[in-house]
Amino acid sequence: MKKFASYDILEKLNETKYTEIYRVTHTFSSKKFILKILKSEFPSHELIVKIKNEFNILSQLNSSFVIKAYSLEKERNRYGILLEDIEGISLKEYFKGKLRLTEFFKISILMVNAIYEVHKKNIIHKDINPSNFIYNPNTESFKIIDFGISTNFLKQNAILENPNI
């Protein structure tokens, strides 16, 4: 794949069972973005609902700690989310190098603040791990990403039961 809608693909950043994540440039403006697209040319209804839900959740979260979603893209039957690019790396990759204790604590505080901002908006991420935090050490930009399985706590029905039943 060399192109998706009005975007030229620069590099593949990640791949999961159902999605591919690319760094792209807009064909006309040359501005860089991240594009998360469904792999399947004919995705199931469930996957389409899931990616639309992720876009809706990201649209609700107006926080400097959360990756911005600009638009829900569609080309033929494939859906994608156009995201901001902070040109960072995942904490999983970043922690492979040596880390000073002060830097570890600074990043830990950023993580706690990011999760707090998300929870304050009644969103439960459900997949907190080092791969879902992006950090750019040059600009000190820090974002939480991948809200694919997240839910809005207020919209989900909570069922309270006795745990012994």
> Which one, of 32, 23, 108, 111, lies nearest residue 65 by Cα?
111
Maximum CA extent, the chain: 60
Q: HSE (CB half, 13 Å, CA atoms) of 143?
A: 23
Radius of gyration over every alpha carbon of the chain, rounded to an integer in angstroms: 17
Report pLDDT for 99: 85
Q: State the Cα–Cα distance between residues 61 and 80, nearest whole angstrom.
A: 18
Q: What is the DSSP secondary structure assignment for residue 66, as one 8-state letter?
A: B
In tens digits, the chain (165 residues) has pLDDT values of: 567 878 999 999 999 999 999 999 998 898 999 999 999 989 999 999 999 999 999 998 999 999 999 999 998 888 999 999 999 999 999 999 888 999 999 999 999 999 999 999 999 999 999 999 999 999 999 999 999 999 988 765 555 565 555
Give pLDDT, residue 152.
Answer: 87
Q: What backbone phi and psi angles, to 5 degrees, belong to 59?
A: -65, -30
Q: What's the confidence (pLDDT) of residue 70?
A: 96
